[in-house]
Structure 1
Amino acid sequence: MREIGWSHNLVILERCKDTHEREFYLRMTRKFDWSKNVLAHQIDNQSYEKSLLGQTSFDKTLTPALRAQAKLAVKDEYAFDFLELGGQHGERELIARIEDFLLAMGGMFAFIGSQERMEVEGKEYFIDLLLFHRRLRALVAIESRASPSV
Protein backbone atom coordinates (compact mmCIF):
# COMPACT_ATOMS: atom_id res chain seq x y z
CA MET A 1 0.00 0.00 0.00
CA ARG A 2 2.96 2.33 0.58
CA GLU A 3 4.16 1.94 -3.00
CA ILE A 4 1.15 3.60 -4.68
CA GLY A 5 -0.58 6.92 -4.14
CA TRP A 6 -3.06 7.51 -1.35
CA SER A 7 -5.88 8.26 -3.81
CA HIS A 8 -5.23 4.88 -5.47
CA ASN A 9 -5.50 3.16 -2.09
CA LEU A 10 -8.80 4.92 -1.38
CA VAL A 11 -10.28 3.78 -4.69
CA ILE A 12 -9.25 0.18 -3.99
CA LEU A 13 -10.46 0.20 -0.38
CA GLU A 14 -13.81 1.78 -1.27
CA ARG A 15 -14.59 -0.32 -4.32
CA CYS A 16 -13.07 -3.75 -3.63
CA LYS A 17 -14.51 -5.84 -0.82
CA ASP A 18 -12.49 -9.03 -1.29
CA THR A 19 -8.91 -9.22 0.07
CA HIS A 20 -7.60 -11.03 -3.01
CA GLU A 21 -9.24 -8.49 -5.31
CA ARG A 22 -7.64 -5.63 -3.36
CA GLU A 23 -4.24 -7.27 -3.55
CA PHE A 24 -4.64 -7.81 -7.30
CA TYR A 25 -5.37 -4.12 -7.94
CA LEU A 26 -2.60 -2.99 -5.57
CA ARG A 27 -0.06 -5.14 -7.39
CA MET A 28 -1.26 -4.22 -10.86
CA THR A 29 -1.29 -0.51 -10.03
CA ARG A 30 2.27 -0.69 -8.77
CA LYS A 31 3.50 -2.94 -11.58
CA PHE A 32 1.94 -1.01 -14.47
CA ASP A 33 1.98 2.45 -12.88
CA TRP A 34 -1.74 2.94 -13.48
CA SER A 35 -3.16 6.41 -13.01
CA LYS A 36 -6.13 6.72 -10.65
CA ASN A 37 -8.50 6.92 -13.66
CA VAL A 38 -7.03 3.81 -15.30
CA LEU A 39 -7.31 1.97 -11.96
CA ALA A 40 -10.97 2.98 -11.63
CA HIS A 41 -11.63 1.81 -15.17
CA GLN A 42 -9.92 -1.52 -14.51
CA ILE A 43 -12.17 -2.03 -11.47
CA ASP A 44 -15.28 -1.03 -13.45
CA ASN A 45 -14.24 -3.40 -16.23
CA GLN A 46 -13.86 -6.24 -13.68
CA SER A 47 -10.25 -6.94 -14.64
CA TYR A 48 -9.73 -9.04 -11.52
CA GLU A 49 -12.61 -11.36 -12.36
CA LYS A 50 -11.54 -11.60 -15.99
CA SER A 51 -7.96 -12.39 -14.99
CA LEU A 52 -9.25 -15.40 -13.05
CA LEU A 53 -10.65 -16.88 -16.24
CA GLY A 54 -7.22 -16.98 -17.88
CA GLN A 55 -8.53 -17.62 -21.38
CA THR A 56 -5.30 -17.41 -23.36
CA SER A 57 -3.08 -19.61 -25.49
CA PHE A 58 -0.01 -18.59 -23.48
CA ASP A 59 0.45 -22.10 -22.04
CA LYS A 60 1.00 -23.44 -25.56
CA THR A 61 2.98 -20.59 -27.07
CA LEU A 62 5.21 -18.98 -24.42
CA THR A 63 8.10 -20.15 -22.33
CA PRO A 64 7.36 -20.64 -18.62
CA ALA A 65 9.43 -17.55 -17.82
CA LEU A 66 7.22 -15.29 -19.97
CA ARG A 67 3.88 -17.02 -19.33
CA ALA A 68 3.08 -15.44 -15.93
CA GLN A 69 4.12 -11.97 -17.07
CA ALA A 70 2.03 -12.22 -20.21
CA LYS A 71 -1.07 -13.35 -18.34
CA LEU A 72 -0.86 -10.33 -16.07
CA ALA A 73 -0.01 -7.86 -18.81
CA VAL A 74 -2.54 -8.56 -21.54
CA LYS A 75 -6.02 -9.94 -22.06
CA ASP A 76 -7.71 -11.61 -25.01
CA GLU A 77 -10.36 -8.90 -25.21
CA TYR A 78 -10.55 -5.33 -24.03
CA ALA A 79 -13.69 -3.29 -23.60
CA PHE A 80 -13.14 0.21 -24.92
CA ASP A 81 -16.40 1.63 -23.62
CA PHE A 82 -14.45 4.28 -21.68
CA LEU A 83 -13.55 5.90 -25.03
CA GLU A 84 -17.13 7.20 -25.13
CA LEU A 85 -17.61 6.60 -28.83
CA GLY A 86 -21.36 6.19 -28.63
CA GLY A 87 -23.42 3.47 -30.26
CA GLN A 88 -22.12 3.77 -33.83
CA HIS A 89 -18.48 4.38 -34.66
CA GLY A 90 -16.02 3.57 -37.38
CA GLU A 91 -12.79 1.66 -37.15
CA ARG A 92 -10.66 4.76 -37.84
CA GLU A 93 -12.25 6.69 -34.98
CA LEU A 94 -11.75 3.71 -32.66
CA ILE A 95 -8.07 3.37 -33.60
CA ALA A 96 -7.47 7.11 -33.14
CA ARG A 97 -9.02 7.02 -29.66
CA ILE A 98 -7.02 3.91 -28.71
CA GLU A 99 -3.81 5.64 -29.78
CA ASP A 100 -4.63 8.57 -27.48
CA PHE A 101 -5.42 6.17 -24.64
CA LEU A 102 -2.14 4.29 -25.04
CA LEU A 103 -0.21 7.52 -24.74
CA ALA A 104 -1.96 8.14 -21.43
CA MET A 105 -1.15 4.64 -20.10
CA GLY A 106 2.31 5.65 -18.99
CA GLY A 107 4.53 4.09 -21.62
CA MET A 108 4.02 0.36 -21.15
CA PHE A 109 2.97 0.04 -24.80
CA ALA A 110 4.72 1.61 -27.77
CA PHE A 111 2.64 2.34 -30.82
CA ILE A 112 4.15 0.71 -33.91
CA GLY A 113 1.46 1.45 -36.47
CA SER A 114 -2.00 0.81 -37.80
CA GLN A 115 -2.95 -1.18 -40.88
CA GLU A 116 0.46 -2.87 -40.79
CA ARG A 117 0.90 -5.35 -43.64
CA MET A 118 1.74 -8.94 -42.73
CA GLU A 119 2.15 -11.96 -44.98
CA VAL A 120 1.53 -15.47 -43.66
CA GLU A 121 1.80 -18.53 -45.91
CA GLY A 122 1.37 -16.40 -49.02
CA LYS A 123 -1.74 -14.59 -47.73
CA GLU A 124 -1.76 -10.85 -47.07
CA TYR A 125 -3.25 -9.49 -43.83
CA PHE A 126 -3.45 -6.02 -42.31
CA ILE A 127 -3.18 -5.63 -38.55
CA ASP A 128 -5.49 -2.87 -37.26
CA LEU A 129 -3.17 -1.83 -34.47
CA LEU A 130 0.37 -3.04 -33.82
CA LEU A 131 1.96 -2.31 -30.44
CA PHE A 132 5.13 -3.26 -28.64
CA HIS A 133 4.87 -4.18 -24.96
CA ARG A 134 8.04 -2.90 -23.32
CA ARG A 135 8.09 -5.18 -20.28
CA LEU A 136 7.32 -8.34 -22.25
CA ARG A 137 9.47 -7.24 -25.18
CA ALA A 138 6.85 -8.61 -27.53
CA LEU A 139 4.60 -7.36 -30.29
CA VAL A 140 0.87 -7.15 -29.58
CA ALA A 141 -1.51 -7.22 -32.57
CA ILE A 142 -5.03 -5.86 -32.14
CA GLU A 143 -7.89 -6.58 -34.50
CA SER A 144 -10.75 -4.15 -33.93
CA ARG A 145 -14.38 -5.03 -34.22
CA ALA A 146 -15.98 -1.65 -34.69
CA SER A 147 -19.73 -1.22 -34.58
CA PRO A 148 -21.25 -1.53 -38.05
CA SER A 149 -22.09 1.79 -39.70
CA VAL A 150 -25.68 2.59 -40.50
Structure 2
Amino acid sequence: MPANYSNRWLEIISWAKHLLIMARCKDPQERYFYTIQTQRQAWTKTVLAQQLKAQTYQQTVLAQHNFPTTLPAPRVEQAALALKDEYTFGFLALTAEHSEYELEQALLGNVRRFLQEMGGDFSFIGNQYRLELADTEYFLDLLLYHRSLQCLVAVELKITDFRPEYAGKMNFYLSLLNEQVRKPHEQPSIGIIVGSSKQRTVVEFALRDVNKPIGVATYTLTDTLPTELRAFFPSNEELVRRLEAVSAALRAPNG
Protein backbone atom coordinates (compact mmCIF):
# COMPACT_ATOMS: atom_id res chain seq x y z
CA MET A 1 0.00 0.00 0.00
CA PRO A 2 1.49 3.39 -0.96
CA ALA A 3 2.65 5.65 1.85
CA ASN A 4 0.59 8.54 0.46
CA TYR A 5 -2.60 6.48 0.36
CA SER A 6 -4.61 8.85 2.55
CA ASN A 7 -3.82 11.84 0.33
CA ARG A 8 -3.86 10.35 -3.15
CA TRP A 9 -6.40 7.56 -3.10
CA LEU A 10 -9.18 9.45 -1.34
CA GLU A 11 -9.81 11.19 -4.64
CA ILE A 12 -10.51 8.16 -6.83
CA ILE A 13 -13.91 7.13 -5.38
CA SER A 14 -16.76 9.02 -3.74
CA TRP A 15 -16.65 10.01 -0.08
CA ALA A 16 -19.79 7.93 0.58
CA LYS A 17 -17.96 4.81 -0.60
CA HIS A 18 -14.94 5.69 1.54
CA LEU A 19 -17.18 6.00 4.59
CA LEU A 20 -18.65 2.57 3.88
CA ILE A 21 -15.20 1.02 3.53
CA MET A 22 -13.87 2.69 6.68
CA ALA A 23 -16.92 1.58 8.67
CA ARG A 24 -16.49 -2.07 7.65
CA CYS A 25 -12.70 -2.41 7.42
CA LYS A 26 -10.19 -1.74 10.19
CA ASP A 27 -7.11 -3.05 8.38
CA PRO A 28 -5.45 -0.44 6.09
CA GLN A 29 -4.52 -3.09 3.51
CA GLU A 30 -8.13 -4.25 3.33
CA ARG A 31 -9.34 -0.67 2.91
CA TYR A 32 -6.83 -0.16 0.12
CA PHE A 33 -8.02 -3.32 -1.65
CA TYR A 34 -11.68 -2.24 -1.67
CA THR A 35 -10.79 1.32 -2.70
CA ILE A 36 -8.76 0.15 -5.69
CA GLN A 37 -11.28 -2.48 -6.74
CA THR A 38 -14.19 -0.03 -6.45
CA GLN A 39 -12.38 2.30 -8.82
CA ARG A 40 -11.14 -0.37 -11.25
CA GLN A 41 -14.35 -2.42 -11.38
CA ALA A 42 -16.66 0.64 -11.29
CA TRP A 43 -18.57 -0.75 -8.30
CA THR A 44 -21.63 1.20 -7.22
CA LYS A 45 -22.18 1.76 -3.50
CA THR A 46 -24.66 -1.14 -3.48
CA VAL A 47 -22.21 -3.49 -5.20
CA LEU A 48 -19.44 -2.37 -2.85
CA ALA A 49 -21.65 -3.19 0.15
CA GLN A 50 -22.28 -6.64 -1.32
CA GLN A 51 -18.55 -7.21 -1.84
CA LEU A 52 -17.83 -6.19 1.75
CA LYS A 53 -20.53 -8.52 3.07
CA ALA A 54 -19.15 -11.37 0.96
CA GLN A 55 -15.65 -10.75 2.39
CA THR A 56 -14.22 -10.52 -1.12
CA TYR A 57 -10.85 -9.40 0.21
CA GLN A 58 -10.38 -12.48 2.37
CA GLN A 59 -11.72 -14.77 -0.34
CA THR A 60 -9.34 -13.27 -2.91
CA VAL A 61 -6.35 -13.75 -0.64
CA LEU A 62 -7.22 -17.37 0.11
CA ALA A 63 -8.46 -18.45 -3.34
CA GLN A 64 -6.44 -21.12 -5.15
CA HIS A 65 -6.09 -20.97 -8.91
CA ASN A 66 -3.54 -20.95 -11.71
CA PHE A 67 -4.80 -17.76 -13.39
CA PRO A 68 -1.44 -15.91 -13.36
CA THR A 69 0.11 -18.59 -15.58
CA THR A 70 -2.88 -19.31 -17.83
CA LEU A 71 -4.53 -15.94 -18.48
CA PRO A 72 -3.30 -12.66 -20.00
CA ALA A 73 -2.18 -10.21 -17.31
CA PRO A 74 -5.14 -7.80 -17.72
CA ARG A 75 -7.63 -10.63 -17.03
CA VAL A 76 -5.94 -12.25 -14.02
CA GLU A 77 -7.25 -9.82 -11.42
CA GLN A 78 -10.81 -9.84 -12.75
CA ALA A 79 -10.87 -13.64 -12.94
CA ALA A 80 -9.54 -13.90 -9.37
CA LEU A 81 -12.38 -11.67 -8.18
CA ALA A 82 -14.86 -14.06 -9.83
CA LEU A 83 -13.59 -16.95 -7.69
CA LYS A 84 -14.17 -17.55 -3.99
CA ASP A 85 -12.16 -19.86 -1.79
CA GLU A 86 -15.34 -21.16 -0.20
CA TYR A 87 -19.01 -20.99 -1.15
CA THR A 88 -21.76 -21.07 1.47
CA PHE A 89 -24.80 -23.03 0.34
CA GLY A 90 -26.74 -22.53 3.56
CA PHE A 91 -29.91 -21.99 1.52
CA LEU A 92 -29.98 -25.67 0.50
CA ALA A 93 -32.16 -28.13 2.39
CA LEU A 94 -29.51 -30.83 2.46
CA THR A 95 -28.28 -33.06 5.24
CA ALA A 96 -24.57 -33.52 5.92
CA GLU A 97 -24.73 -36.82 4.04
CA HIS A 98 -25.71 -36.16 0.42
CA SER A 99 -24.75 -37.26 -3.07
CA GLU A 100 -23.36 -35.16 -5.90
CA TYR A 101 -26.68 -35.62 -7.70
CA GLU A 102 -28.59 -34.31 -4.68
CA LEU A 103 -26.23 -31.33 -4.43
CA GLU A 104 -26.64 -30.50 -8.11
CA GLN A 105 -30.43 -30.82 -7.99
CA ALA A 106 -30.64 -28.67 -4.87
CA LEU A 107 -28.58 -25.94 -6.55
CA LEU A 108 -30.78 -26.11 -9.65
CA GLY A 109 -33.84 -25.69 -7.44
CA ASN A 110 -32.27 -22.55 -5.98
CA VAL A 111 -30.46 -21.30 -9.07
CA ARG A 112 -31.03 -17.61 -8.29
CA ARG A 113 -29.50 -17.94 -4.81
CA PHE A 114 -26.72 -20.09 -6.27
CA LEU A 115 -25.75 -17.45 -8.83
CA GLN A 116 -25.81 -14.77 -6.13
CA GLU A 117 -23.48 -16.85 -3.97
CA MET A 118 -21.16 -17.35 -6.93
CA GLY A 119 -20.59 -13.61 -6.77
CA GLY A 120 -22.74 -11.92 -9.37
CA ASP A 121 -22.24 -11.42 -13.10
CA PHE A 122 -22.85 -15.13 -13.68
CA SER A 123 -25.61 -16.46 -15.93
CA PHE A 124 -26.86 -20.03 -15.99
CA ILE A 125 -26.57 -21.98 -19.26
CA GLY A 126 -27.29 -25.58 -18.31
CA ASN A 127 -26.58 -28.65 -16.22
CA GLN A 128 -25.23 -32.02 -17.31
CA TYR A 129 -24.09 -30.14 -20.38
CA ARG A 130 -23.33 -32.64 -23.12
CA LEU A 131 -19.96 -32.68 -24.86
CA GLU A 132 -18.83 -35.28 -27.38
CA LEU A 133 -15.49 -36.43 -28.73
CA ALA A 134 -14.64 -39.53 -30.76
CA ASP A 135 -18.18 -40.93 -30.38
CA THR A 136 -17.99 -40.67 -26.59
CA GLU A 137 -20.28 -38.44 -24.55
CA TYR A 138 -19.14 -36.37 -21.58
CA PHE A 139 -21.39 -34.42 -19.23
CA LEU A 140 -20.34 -31.27 -17.42
CA ASP A 141 -22.14 -30.71 -14.10
CA LEU A 142 -22.90 -27.01 -14.60
CA LEU A 143 -22.14 -24.54 -17.36
CA LEU A 144 -22.28 -20.82 -16.55
CA TYR A 145 -21.34 -17.63 -18.36
CA HIS A 146 -19.54 -14.68 -16.81
CA ARG A 147 -20.63 -11.43 -18.41
CA SER A 148 -17.68 -9.24 -17.42
CA LEU A 149 -15.08 -11.86 -18.32
CA GLN A 150 -17.09 -12.78 -21.43
CA CYS A 151 -16.33 -16.45 -21.09
CA LEU A 152 -17.91 -19.81 -20.36
CA VAL A 153 -17.37 -21.10 -16.83
CA ALA A 154 -17.43 -24.86 -16.27
CA VAL A 155 -18.34 -25.99 -12.75
CA GLU A 156 -17.72 -29.49 -11.44
CA LEU A 157 -19.29 -30.48 -8.11
CA LYS A 158 -17.56 -32.95 -5.78
CA ILE A 159 -18.61 -34.21 -2.36
CA THR A 160 -15.14 -35.56 -1.62
CA ASP A 161 -11.75 -34.13 -0.82
CA PHE A 162 -10.07 -32.62 -3.90
CA ARG A 163 -8.11 -35.15 -5.96
CA PRO A 164 -5.41 -34.30 -8.54
CA GLU A 165 -7.26 -36.12 -11.32
CA TYR A 166 -10.11 -33.61 -11.02
CA ALA A 167 -7.82 -30.94 -12.48
CA GLY A 168 -6.94 -33.12 -15.48
CA LYS A 169 -10.60 -33.83 -16.17
CA MET A 170 -11.50 -30.15 -15.96
CA ASN A 171 -8.61 -29.27 -18.29
CA PHE A 172 -10.07 -31.74 -20.80
CA TYR A 173 -13.56 -30.24 -20.50
CA LEU A 174 -12.21 -26.73 -21.06
CA SER A 175 -10.45 -27.86 -24.23
CA LEU A 176 -13.74 -29.25 -25.55
CA LEU A 177 -15.66 -26.10 -24.60
CA ASN A 178 -13.13 -23.87 -26.32
CA GLU A 179 -13.17 -26.01 -29.45
CA GLN A 180 -16.86 -26.86 -29.72
CA VAL A 181 -18.93 -24.33 -27.75
CA ARG A 182 -17.05 -21.04 -27.36
CA LYS A 183 -18.08 -18.34 -29.82
CA PRO A 184 -15.48 -16.34 -31.78
CA HIS A 185 -15.94 -13.16 -29.73
CA GLU A 186 -15.69 -14.95 -26.35
CA GLN A 187 -12.61 -15.36 -24.19
CA PRO A 188 -11.19 -18.83 -23.34
CA SER A 189 -13.26 -20.80 -20.85
CA ILE A 190 -12.51 -21.01 -17.13
CA GLY A 191 -13.11 -23.98 -14.82
CA ILE A 192 -14.12 -24.06 -11.15
CA ILE A 193 -13.97 -27.28 -9.14
CA VAL A 194 -16.14 -27.07 -6.01
CA GLY A 195 -15.65 -29.82 -3.44
CA SER A 196 -16.40 -30.52 0.19
CA SER A 197 -12.77 -30.05 1.24
CA LYS A 198 -9.24 -29.71 -0.10
CA GLN A 199 -5.64 -29.96 0.96
CA ARG A 200 -4.05 -26.75 -0.22
CA THR A 201 -0.68 -28.29 -1.04
CA VAL A 202 -2.33 -30.97 -3.20
CA VAL A 203 -4.26 -28.29 -5.10
CA GLU A 204 -1.11 -26.26 -5.64
CA PHE A 205 0.77 -29.18 -7.18
CA ALA A 206 -2.23 -30.39 -9.20
CA LEU A 207 -2.61 -27.00 -10.90
CA ARG A 208 1.08 -26.26 -11.34
CA ASP A 209 1.46 -27.58 -14.91
CA VAL A 210 -2.16 -27.35 -16.08
CA ASN A 211 -2.45 -25.03 -19.09
CA LYS A 212 -6.11 -24.02 -18.74
CA PRO A 213 -7.40 -21.52 -16.13
CA ILE A 214 -8.83 -23.48 -13.20
CA GLY A 215 -9.84 -22.52 -9.67
CA VAL A 216 -10.46 -24.93 -6.80
CA ALA A 217 -12.92 -24.03 -4.05
CA THR A 218 -14.86 -25.69 -1.26
CA TYR A 219 -18.45 -25.41 -0.14
CA THR A 220 -20.21 -25.54 3.19
CA LEU A 221 -23.90 -25.88 4.01
CA THR A 222 -23.65 -23.54 7.01
CA ASP A 223 -22.41 -20.00 7.59
CA THR A 224 -19.80 -21.25 10.06
CA LEU A 225 -16.75 -23.18 8.92
CA PRO A 226 -16.79 -26.65 10.52
CA THR A 227 -13.91 -27.31 12.89
CA GLU A 228 -12.67 -30.27 10.87
CA LEU A 229 -12.13 -28.03 7.81
CA ARG A 230 -10.12 -25.32 9.50
CA ALA A 231 -6.91 -27.31 9.05
CA PHE A 232 -7.20 -26.85 5.30
CA PHE A 233 -6.71 -23.08 5.58
CA PRO A 234 -3.23 -21.56 5.43
CA SER A 235 -1.07 -20.79 8.42
CA ASN A 236 -0.59 -17.21 9.59
CA GLU A 237 2.75 -17.11 7.77
CA GLU A 238 1.15 -18.30 4.53
CA LEU A 239 -1.66 -15.77 4.91
CA VAL A 240 0.87 -12.96 5.34
CA ARG A 241 2.67 -14.12 2.18
CA ARG A 242 -0.60 -14.07 0.23
CA LEU A 243 -1.48 -10.62 1.56
CA GLU A 244 1.89 -9.34 0.39
CA ALA A 245 1.28 -10.88 -3.05
CA VAL A 246 -2.11 -9.16 -3.32
CA SER A 247 -0.53 -5.87 -2.26
CA ALA A 248 2.16 -6.20 -4.94
CA ALA A 249 -0.46 -6.94 -7.59
CA LEU A 250 -2.52 -3.91 -6.60
CA ARG A 251 0.53 -1.63 -6.80
CA ALA A 252 1.19 -2.77 -10.38
CA PRO A 253 -0.16 -0.52 -13.17
CA ASN A 254 -3.65 -1.52 -14.31
CA GLY A 255 -3.20 -3.43 -17.56
Q: Per the shorter chain, which TM-score range?
A: 0.5 to 0.7
C-alpha spacing 1:55/1:111, structure 2 compared with 1 (3 Å): same
- 2:14 corresponds to 1:2: yes
TM-score (norm 1): 0.66
Q: Give how far 1:136 is off.
A: 0.8
Counterpart of 1:81, as a letter, is: F
More deviation, 50-59/134-143:
50-59
TM-score by length of 2: 0.43
- SS of 1:13's equivalent? helix
Q: Distance in 2 between matches of 1:116 and 1:66?
A: 26
Alignment match, 1:94: 107
Distance 1:103 1:68 in 2: 20
CA contact (8 A) 1:29 1:39 kept: no
1:116–1:127 CA contact under 8 A, matched in 2: yes
> Measured at CA, do residues 115 and 2 of structure 1 come closer, stay the same or move farther in structure 2, by a change above 3 Å?
same
Q: Quote the offset at 1:26 in angstroms.
A: 4.6
Deviations 1:51-100 (A, max 9, x none): 1245211123212232222122224x441234254534522012332x21
For residues 130 and 147 of structure 2, the distance between their equivalents in structure 1, rounded to whole angstroms, comes to 22
Distance 1:79 1:128 in 2: 16
What is the CA–CA distance in structure 1 between the aligned matches of 2:135 and 2:16, rounded to whole Å? Answer: 49
RMSD between aligned alpha carbons?
3.6
Q: What is the aligned partner in structure 2 of residue 18 from structure 1? A: 27
Match of 1:128, SS? Answer: strand
* 1:18-73 alpha-carbon deviations (Å, 9 max, x no partner): 12212334555673553745641x12xxx323312452111232122322221222
**Matches of 2:154 and 2:82 in 1, distance apart?**
14
Task: Specify the alignment match of 1:79 in structure 2.
Answer: 87
1:1-150 alignment runs, 5 A limit? 2=14, 9=20, 12-28=21-37, 31=41, 34=47, 36=49, 39-40=52-53, 42-43=54-55, 47-53=56-62, 55-75=64-84, 77-88=85-96, 90-91=102-103, 92-97=105-110, 99-101=111-113, 102=115, 108-119=121-132, 124-145=137-158
Number of equivalenced pairs: 139
SS at match of 1:136: coil
Percent identity, aligned pairs only? 35
Q: What amino acid is the match of 2:66?
A: S
For the 8 Å contact 1:35–1:105, the answer to whether it is kept is no
Q: Which has the higher contact order (CA 8 A, sep 6+)?
A: 2
Deviation, structure 1 residue 105:
8.0
Q: Greater CA radius of gyration, 1 or 2? A: 2
